[in-house]
């Protein structure tokens, strides 16, 4: 995939846009309701991906839930989590299994009220995607979606407040983004392009972008440790 085609899949930041609150989605029981009923008049964290994703969607959710567990935020009092599948062929049963798996790792007592894992038809998914500036492309050869990584924070009135893009979410960043959304703020964000796929031109295959992140993280760790050791050695010589 060419660089310009990859760049076209980045989030288009649309702070202030109103979500289509009348767009209809199914919850984990199969009940179909307007999107607005899932928001519940609270600040919301929106995560878009798909449940059968073989790459980073599950990692993104785990990263978010890990940050939320350390943030001091409670659901549904402080926030609502809305996970939406971008694949119209996915079913409420798949959403239900994904939520059960996430709860097994990150138990939350009030998840029944505050965590909503949704599926919908193409029209509803497209309306929501346009509203928040989410772009995705289905690769028929690989039978997988290529899409950006990041979270959208929604005000209680259903307006886009801001974004936390990429991955590696910190509790403080998530808590601050929820606070801005609760106040109805529109917060600027730096554009970051991290796709659920990464195309390796040398092999002609998509590889996990997270592998690059891990390599970068490992290199940074080595550099930091090296710096600490050098500084300690210099202090000892003094």
Question: What are the extents of the domains in the chain?
Answer: 3-199, 208-237
pLDDT for 208 equals 45
Residue 20, C-beta contacts closer than 8 angstroms, at least 6 positions apart: 35, 124, 127, 128, 131
pLDDT for 215 equals 45
Residue 10, phi then psi, degrees to nearest 5: -70, 155
Residue 213: pLDDT band (50, 70, 90) is very low
Q: What's the gap between Cα 228 and its chain centre? A: 34
- CA nearest neighbour of 10 among 134, 144, 126: 134
pLDDT for 222 equals 47
User: What is the fold, at CATH topology level, of the domain defined by 3-199?
Assistant: Glutaredoxin (3.40.30)
pLDDT for 73 equals 96
**Cβ–Cβ under 8 Å, residues 82 and 42:** no
**Cβ–Cβ under 8 Å, residues 124 and 24:** yes
> How large is the average pLDDT for residues 45-74?
92
pLDDT for 211 equals 46
> How large is the average pLDDT for residues 84-99?
97
pLDDT for 201 equals 40
**Cβ–Cβ under 8 Å, residues 194 and 167:** yes
**Cβ–Cβ under 8 Å, residues 84 and 25:** yes
> How large is the average pLDDT for residues 147-155?
94
- Ranges 33-37, 158-162, 214-218: which has the least confidence: 214-218
Helices and strands per DSSP (H, E), number in the chain: 8, 11
């Amino acid at each position: 995939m060419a660089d310009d085609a990859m760049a076209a899949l980045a989030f288009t930041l649309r702070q202030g846009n109103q979500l289509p609150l009348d767009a209809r989605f199914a919850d984990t029981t199969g009940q179909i309701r307007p999107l607005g009923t899932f928001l519940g008049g609270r600040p919301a964290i929106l995560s878009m991906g798909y449940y059968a994703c073989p790459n980073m969607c599950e990692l993104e959710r785990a990263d978010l839930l890990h940050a939320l567990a350390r943030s001091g935020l409670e659901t549904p009092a402080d926030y609502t989590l809305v996970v939406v599948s971008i694949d119209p062929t996915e079913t409420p049963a798949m959403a239900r299994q994904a939520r059960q798996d996430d709860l097994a790792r990150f138990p939350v007592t009030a998840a029944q009220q505050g965590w909503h894992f949704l599926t919908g038809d193409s029209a509803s998914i497209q309306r929501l995607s346009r509203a928040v500036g989410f772009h995705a492309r289905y690769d028929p050869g690989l039978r997988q979606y290529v899409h950006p990584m990041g979270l959208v924070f929604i005000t209680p009135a259903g307006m886009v407040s801001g974004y936390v893009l990429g991955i590696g979410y910190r509790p403080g960043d998530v808590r601050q983004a929820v606070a801005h959304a609760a106040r109805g703020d529109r917060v600027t964000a730096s554009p970051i392009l991290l796709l659920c796929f990464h195309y390796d031109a040398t092999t002609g295959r998509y590889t996990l972008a997270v592998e690059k992140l891990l390599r970068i993280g490992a290199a940074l760790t080595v550099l930091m440790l090296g710096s600490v050791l050098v500084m300690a050695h210099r202090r000892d010589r003094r």
